């Protein structure tokens, strides 16, 4: 009845810093090396390790700027110490992030400053810290994306919103999504349609008890995400859904029948009217 396999799709705009097909600048091509993987969000983590505990982040940045020239190094979210979401990253002396692939890849290929100081560069996203100012901006973006006439909230490619240029905010980051849901509950509890397309979602546990917070929600779109199990969708099972879109995820063939078993009220699945045979 349905045929909705996941395909490799290039639909939609690139991330703010995703390299296009033209040749990337490179200043470290004396020997063949592997390039840094491209981040789906356009952000990259740079960890500085050093055997010299007197080393300062400002001195390191000055040296890096000289090495990278003419590329421009604009470190964001810099702080002492490492990050704790990845084993081995916690031991760093300093951490910062960049939103330029060219800069990140150049640092990735450099690997060391000297025999005492070395770099670790990855496509890991920043660990977001929610402040009152950040929460206020989230609220503004949500209300701009809300259609009160249709009671519809479109969060497609949320991390690509112009409001976040130069900053990181992705719904796949649990504290961002949790904060977004809290604002939605306070400001638009009458929500009827929620569109979450192209946000690289893999886990949906944050939506547990969603039916208590948004009892009027009837339509959910999760197109172009990374959901790989029907079980993950059960967080929505008590919503009175009449429309659901799961196109271009990682779900197994024939998942549509299981979806219809979970939501007997469903009328449209993947933009196709549901036909039930008795």
- Per DSSP, the residues of 210-266 read HHHH-TT--EEE-TTS----GGGGGGGTTS--SEEE-TTSSPPTTHHHHHHHH-TT-
Q: Give the count of beta carbons closer than 10 Å to the beta carbon of residue 14.
A: 12
Q: Give all domains of the chain, ordered by start, each with its CATH number.
A: 44-122 (3.30.70.330), 132-273 (3.80.10.10)
pLDDT (average), residues 110-121:
95
- Residue 29 confidence (pLDDT): 45
- Residue 39 confidence (pLDDT): 95
pLDDT (average), residues 26-40:
69
pLDDT digits (tens, 9 = 90+) for 132-147: 999 999 999 999 999 9
Cα–Cα distance, 19 to 35 (Å, whole number): 12
pTM of the model: 0.84
Is residue 25 pLDDT above 50, yes or no? no
Is residue 97 pLDDT above 80, yes or no? yes
pLDDT digits (tens, 9 = 90+) for 198-229: 999 999 999 999 999 999 999 999 999 999 99
pLDDT (average), residues 47-58:
93
Q: Which residue has the tokens 């810290």?
A: 129
- Residue 32 confidence (pLDDT): 54
Is residue 154 pLDDT above 80, yes or no? yes
CB 197 within 8 A of CB 270: no
- Residue 129 confidence (pLDDT): 87
* β-bridge mates for residue 194, sequence order: 153, 220
Given pLDDT bands bounded at 50, 70 and 90, which one contains residue 10? very low
- Percentages helix, strand, coil for the chain (3-state, rounded to 5) are 30, 15, 55
Lateral strand order in the sheet of 44-50: 76-80, 94-98, 44-50, 117-122
Q: Cis (ω within 30 of 0) for the bond into 15? A: no
pLDDT digits (tens, 9 = 90+) for 228-260: 999 999 999 999 999 999 999 999 999 999 999
Tokens found for residue 31: 């020997």
């Amino acid at each position: 009845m349905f045929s909705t396999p996941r395909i490799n799709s290039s639909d939609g705009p690139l991330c703010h810093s995703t390299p296009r097909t033209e040749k990337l600048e490179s200043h470290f091509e004396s020997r063949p090396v592997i390039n840094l993987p491209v981040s789906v969000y356009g952000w990259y983590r740079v960890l500085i390790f050093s055997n010299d505990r007197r080393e300062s982040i400002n001195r390191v940045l000055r040296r890096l700027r000289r090495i990278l020239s003419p590329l421009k190094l604009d470190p964001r979210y810099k702080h002492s110490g490492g990050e704790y979401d990845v084993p081995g990253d916690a031991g760093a002396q300093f951490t910062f992030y960049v939103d330029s692939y060219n800069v990140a890849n150049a640092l990735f290929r450099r690997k060391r400053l000297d025999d005492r100081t070395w770099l670790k560069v990855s496509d890991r996203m920043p660990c977001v810290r929610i402040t009152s100012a950040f929460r206020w901006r989230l609220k503004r973006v949500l209300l701009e994306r809300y259609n009160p006439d249709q009671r519809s909230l479109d969060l497609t490619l949320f991390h690509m919103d112009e409001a976040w240029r130069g900053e990181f905010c992705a719904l796949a980051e649990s504290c961002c999504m949790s904060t977004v849901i809290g604002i939605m509950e306070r400001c638009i509890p009458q929500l009827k349609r929620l569109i979450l397309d192209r946000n690289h979602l893999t886990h949906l546990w944050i939506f547990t008890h969603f039916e208590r917070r948004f009892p009027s929600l009837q339509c959910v779109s999760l197109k172009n995400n990374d959901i790989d199990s029907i079980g993950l969708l059960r967080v929505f099972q008590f919503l009175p859904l009449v429309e659901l879109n799961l196109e271009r995820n990682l779900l197994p063939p024939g998942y549509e029948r299981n979806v219809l078993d979970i939501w007997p009220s469903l009328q449209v699945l993947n933009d196709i009217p549901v036909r039930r045979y008795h």
